[in-house]
């Protein structure tokens, strides 16, 4: 999808801010995602040119770091922790419940853009496992009832969750 004029302008400004910075590519990509919610693939040629890299190198960085997204975020993003402490406290059962309730894979996105599931590997809340992030907000000691309530909250706002 081509960039909008506004996106082009914002990306150009951010490139200008980071271009001369040693190791500026990652901070630039984070800045683009912070501003636009994702790093559009259409921005890759300009970014590559600015950093004297190939487009493949820029795309390689984007794909290596799983937190970068190539499309706008869903209305709700739920990230269930799948690391060891949370696994030992029942995160796999929660993951199964999520799959059953949403019909999505562990890293799936609903067709209407209402919900995206993305695994995460430790949220720094191991003492309060199992934990998850919903729209950036930490929820700890999550059980099946709490998970259902969070999903219901998404549904109340409209659209499939």
The residues binding ligand FES (CB under 6 A) are 81, 83-86, 122-123, 125-126, 129, 131
154 is in an annotated binding site: no
122 is in an annotated binding site: yes
Binning the chain into helix, strand and coil, the percentages to the nearest 5 are 50, 10, 40
- Long-range residue pairs from 94-102, CB within 8 A, at least 24 positions apart, any chain: 94/130, 94/132, 94/142, 94/144, 94/147, 95/119, 97/144, 97/147, 97/148, 98/147, 98/151, 101/148, 101/151, 102/151, 102/161
86 is in an annotated binding site: yes
Q: Which one, 32 or 129, has the nearer CB to ligand FES? A: 129
Closest distance to ligand FES from the beta carbon of 134 (Å): 14
Closest distance to ligand FES from the beta carbon of 159 (Å): 28
Closest distance to ligand FES from the beta carbon of 142 (Å): 10
Q: Which one, 86 or 98, has the nearer CB to ligand FES? A: 86
Cα–Cα distance measured from residue 110 to residue 90, given in angstroms and rounded to the nearest whole number: 24
Alpha carbon 83 to its chain centroid, in Å, reads 17
Length of the chain: 161
Residue 83 tokens read as 């690391």
Closest distance to ligand FES from the beta carbon of 125 (Å): 4
Binding residue ranges: 81, 86, 122, 126
Binding residue ranges for [2Fe-2S] cluster: 81, 86, 122, 126
């Amino acid at each position: 999808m081509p960039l909008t004029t506004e996106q082009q302008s914002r990306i150009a400004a951010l490139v200008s801010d980071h271009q001369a910075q040693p190791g500026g590519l990652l901070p630039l990509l984070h800045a683009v995602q912070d501003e636009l919610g994702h790093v559009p693939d259409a921005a890759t040629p300009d970014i590559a040119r600015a950093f004297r890299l190939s487009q493949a190198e820029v795309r390689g960085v984007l794909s290596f770091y799983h937190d970068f997204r190539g499309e706008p975020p869903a209305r709700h993003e739920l990230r269930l922790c799948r690391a060891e402490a949370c696994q030992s406290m029942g995160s796999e059962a929660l993951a199964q419940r999520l799959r059953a309730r949403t019909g999505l894979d562990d890293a799936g996105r609903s067709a209407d853009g209402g919900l995206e599931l993305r695994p995460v590997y430790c949220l720094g809340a191991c003492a309060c496992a199992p934990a998850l992030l919903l729209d950036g907000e930490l929820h700890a000691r999550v059980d099946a009832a709490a998970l259902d309530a969070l999903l219901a909250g998404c549904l109340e706002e409209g659209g499939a969750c």
